[in-house]
Amino acid sequence: MPNQPFKPEHSNSFIKLWRSFGYAFKGIRYATATQLNFRVHLVATITAVFMGLWLKISMDEWRWIMLCITLVLVVELLNTAIEMLTDLASPGYDAKAGHVKDVAAGAVIITALFALITGVIIFLPKIVTLLTHAA
């Protein structure tokens, strides 16, 4: 039926919950397949986790790294959703549509800078110590 919101049928609440997980992972798979930026963030995430294990960072430092990873991935997913919604609502040129995308991109940059600075603060002194001891 046209103009009716799509609502899949659910026989019980467990199946409803299970399907919600499925839709969420479908969204993450879609972002991974279509968004280069999201794939770059995933590579950065894996690199940060391996560096954390290699450099034996403290539990407190792990908390900061996990916060950065979560923030960066969540903001990138929201940015992707905003971009897609903007393209749906405004397929042609519209200055406001451009501003919407620019503002969302601004949120990604701020989060990525926060993650970068946190990573430098945590990892750089340990790498310098390793290198000076190796020399």
Residue 102, interface with ligand ATP (CB under 6 A)?
yes
* Listed ranges 3-11, 42-50, 87-95, 111-119: which one lies at the site for ligand ATP (CB under 6 A): 87-95
Among the listed residues 31, 57, 76, 111, the single catalytic one is 76
* Pairwise CA distance, residues 120 & 135, whole Å: 21
> Between residues 45 and 79, which has the closer beta carbon with respect to ligand ATP?
79
Report the residue number whose CB is nearest to ligand ATP. Answer: 98
Which residues in 28-67 contact ligand ATP (CB under 6 A)?
35, 37
Contact 51, 69 (CB under 8 A): no
9 is catalytic: no
Among 51, 61, 62, 83, binds ligand ATP (CB under 6 A): 83
Nearer to ligand ATP, 109 or 127 (CB): 109
Q: Which is nearer to ligand ATP, 66 or 97 (CB)?
A: 97
3: phi > 0 → left, psi -120 to 50 → alpha, else beta; which? left
Is residue 2 classed as helix, strand or coil in its secondary structure?
A: coil
Cα–Cα distance, 101 to 99 (Å, whole number): 5
76, exposed or middle or buried, with CB in 10 Å at 0-12, 13-18, 19+? Answer: buried
CA–CA dist 46, 44 (Å, integer): 6
- Residue numbers of the site for ligand ATP (CB under 6 A)? 35, 37, 83, 90, 93-94, 97-98, 101-102, 105
